[in-house]
Structure 1
Amino acid sequence: METVQVGGRGLTYVRRGRGEPLVLVQGMAGHHGLWGERFLGLLAERFDVVAFNHRGVAGGGRVEEQFSTADLARDAVGVMDALGVGSAHVLGISLGGMVAQEMAIRFPERVRALVLGCTYAGPEGGSLDAPGPGRMAQAAAARDAVAAMRVAFEVNLSPGFRGREGAFREFVEVVLAQKVPAAVIGMQMRAALGHDAVGRLGRVVAPTLVVHGTEDEMIRVDNGRHVASLVPGARLEVVEGVGHLFWWEQPEATARLVTSFVASST
């Protein structure tokens, strides 16, 4: 993991592979490890992959003031600037999908192709009423770390995947591998609640793919359909039986989907 300076703050990232640049934007409480080694490795076979951590995450500087998804989009572009990446394909999931929307709207020349996973466009036509966030908040309030981790596992992954041997152990190991302060997670939640790109997604010019799992308990699948309906020419892929972390459950299929979409868009 390395560090670049963006806006007076050190943001951490990993970079691997060769090819056209692909920037990965993680979701709330996420860090680069949550992309999973298998998925990152597959993408690195075809792309120059940059997976950065949001401000305050995994050593990404001190955060004292509330930020917005637009601020996080500026961070992402700042990372690209620092690494000499003029434009890139962008994959953002959940909160990262909201950040990627802002990147495509505010910095259209920097986004070659856009993949938006398990995300939300805004309150008019969208909703953040899935049961997962509420369950996680209740678990956190109880101050039982083991129970909270179990709830996070349950609401982010589908029932079928959760039954695999060793799945929970691997999830815990990866989640705890990097520090994501609770205060930063709270700010990320407020940023997500304040996100509203509904009236602006029609400006997106980058070829766009929207991916959402039917078993998503964090952001309901109807939000994926909503996002796709707002972006001109967007392609929608609804993945049956998969939860919020669709790339974690299906790394090979997701890597193929991303790779083929980018290839068809260039």
Structure 2
Amino acid sequence: MNTRPQSVPWKLYQRVPVAAGEIATAVFGEGPPVVLVHGTPACSYLWRNVVPTLARHHTVHVWDLLGFGESRIAPGAVPSIAQQAHTLAELVAHWGLTEPSLVGHDIGGGIVLRAHLIEQVPTAGIALLDAAVIGPWNTPFTEHQQRYAEAYRRMPPDVFADIITARLRTATYRPMTDADTAAYLAPWTGAEGQMRWIDQVCAVSFKDTQDVVARLDRIIAPTLVLWGQEDQWLRLAVGDRLAAAIPGAQRATIPGAGHFLTEDQPQDAADALVDFFGRHRP
């Protein structure tokens, strides 16, 4: 079923200073708080078609990771999973949230788990969407960029743009529109965007989730592991392993969805989150 709605305008108007930079953020709706954490190479645009449904039931907090989207990272800071998790803890404190539900996609899954298990951010529930947690989880493309980072940095920007555009288009099961592709690529355009892309690629390592993996059996919060059935970046078996490692985790799959499951099937993803958090509300 084609459930992808027409994309809505998306802009984060609030800015929050944090230790490692400045975060672009926004808050929608009213109700029990939910924090949405995107992964790489996305930004909060990933959630635009999920937020309207969630916001009918929850206060929804969205943000761009350090060095992603409209957020800016301080000179010398590294946009690692560990740093992003610390930033998430700062934001939860800034928002005055005592026990928010946490949703993480891709490396956002590793970020929310590290924020909970290492940074001690309390949570009422966790949802992990096509999540990079149990390593090694870097794709061959990411590993190639890390191995030849300087070559990618020196690459002509138009050639680099062609490469990452082709890569981005494999994140969905159904073809992404040109407008949505352009929105995802906008933060990475030009020479500056190219450097930002390589900076975040070089900072991403499953070493930042090793401490998390060692503590997965300590999770007592209700947990949903939700996967796109057609994910070509992190296969279904990765989700199965993750769910098996978390006590009592619920495992669900969304048909007709790739790695960017909220792009392919946003309504199904939103409904799954509303249903899960509604059934496990404190």
For normalisation by structure 2, the TM-score amounts to 0.80
Matches within 5 A, 1:51-200: 51-57=62-68, 58-66=70-78, 68-107=80-119, 110-123=122-135, 127-128=136-137, 130=139, 133=142, 141=152, 143=156, 144-158=159-173, 161-162=174-175, 167-178=176-187, 181-190=196-205, 192=206, 194-196=208-210, 197-200=212-215
1:167-225 deviation line (CA, Å, top 9, x unaligned): 331222321344562243224423x4542232210011110000112321222221111
Query: Where does the alignment leave 5 or more consecutive residues of structure 2 unmatched?
Result: 1-12
Report the RMSD for the aligned CA atoms in angstroms. Answer: 2.5
Q: How many residues align?
A: 254
Partner of 2:56: 45
Q: Distance in 2 between matches of 1:185 and 1:67?
A: 6
Determine what percentage of the aligned residue pairs are the same residue: 20
Q: Does 1:207 align with 2:222?
A: yes
Alignment of 1:8-47 (within 5 A): 9-35=21-47, 37-47=48-58
Mean CA deviation greater in 77-86 or 60-69: 60-69
Residue 63 to residue 210, structure 1, CA distance change in 2 (3 Å)? farther
- 1:37-96 alpha-carbon deviations (Å, 9 max, x no partner): 321222222211111121222232324243542332121010111122222111000000
For residue 270 of structure 2, what is the amino acid of its counterpart? A
For 1:172 and 1:136, the matched residues in 2 are separated by 21
Secondary structure in 2 matching 1:100: helix
Q: How far off is 1:6 after superposition?
A: 1.9
Closer/same/farther in 2, CA of residues 130 and 69 from structure 1, 3 Å limit: closer
Moved more, 251-260 or 56-65: 56-65
Q: Aligned partners of 2:44, 2:274: CA distance in 1, in Å?
A: 19
Q: 1:135–1:151: 8 Å Cα contact kept in structure 2?
A: no
Structure 1 window deviating more from structure 2 (223-232 vs 50-59): it is: 50-59
Moved more, 251-260 or 1-10: 1-10
| Letter paired with 2:31 | G
Equivalent-residue separation in structure 1 for 2:245 and 2:272 (angstroms): 21
1:3 aligns with 2:15: yes
Residue segments in structure 1 that go unaligned for 5+ positions in a row: none
1:264 match: 279
Superposition TM-score, scaled by structure 1 size: 0.85
**Pair 60,110 (structure 1): closer, same or farther in 2 beyond 3 Å:** farther
- The whole-number CA distance in structure 2 between the counterparts of 1:60 and 1:84 is 22
CA gap of 1:242–1:227, structure 2 versus 1, over 3 A, is same
Farther off after superposition, 80-89 or 2-11: 2-11
